[in-house]
């Protein structure tokens, strides 16, 4: 399979804490994207980081990319109950390849 590896598969934290999810991949990339999926819904695009970028921010989200280690991480700061969802990394151009996702649960 071309799918990347994401870890952890599941993460449960208290509201207000930070959540970190990791994504590793095997082939070279032009960019890497992160998506969120709420239960039973379609995916929503969160952020895209290009191969020449090392870090990118969007609100409470911070994404890092280490092309030498072929890995990326997504940090959600000051988590909220509404952040409970599955998070996926994806890479590719014409053919987007998704990781298996991290299921994040924020406990009140």
Partner 1 sequence: NAGVTQTPKFQVLKTGQSMTLQCAQDMNHEYMSWYRQDPGMGLRLIHYSVGAGITDQGEVPNGYNVSRSTTEDFPLRLLSAAPSQTSVYFCASRRTDTQYFGPGTRLTVL
Q: By C-beta, is 16 or 45 nearer to partner 1?
A: 45
Binding site for partner 1 (CB under 8 A): 2-3, 31, 33, 35, 40-45, 48, 88, 90, 94-101
Distances (CA, A) of 14 to 7, 80, 98, 107, 108: 18, 9, 27, 5, 6
At its nearest, how many Å lie between partner 1 and the CB of residue 100?
A: 5
Q: Are 84 and 76 in contact (CB under 8 A)?
A: no
Q: By C-beta, is 14 or 94 nearer to partner 1?
A: 94
Q: How far is residue 75's CA from residue 69's CA, in Å, rounded to a whole number?
A: 18
At its nearest, how many Å lie between partner 1 and the CB of residue 2?
A: 7
At its nearest, how many Å lie between partner 1 and the CB of residue 58?
A: 12
């Amino acid at each position: 399979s071309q799918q990347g590896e994401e870890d952890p598969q599941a993460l449960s934290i208290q509201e207000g804490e930070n959540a970190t999810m990791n994504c590793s991949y095997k082939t070279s990339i032009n960019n890497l994207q992160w998506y969120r999926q709420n239960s039973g819904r379609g995916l929503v695009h969160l952020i895209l980081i290009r191969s020449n970028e090392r870090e990118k921010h969007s609100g409470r989200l911070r994404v890092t990319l280490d092309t030498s280690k072929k890995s990326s991480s997504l940090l959600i700061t000051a988590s909220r109950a509404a952040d409970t969802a599955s998070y996926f990394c994806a890479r590719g151009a014409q053919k987007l390849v998704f990781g298996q996702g991290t299921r994040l649960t924020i406990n009140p």
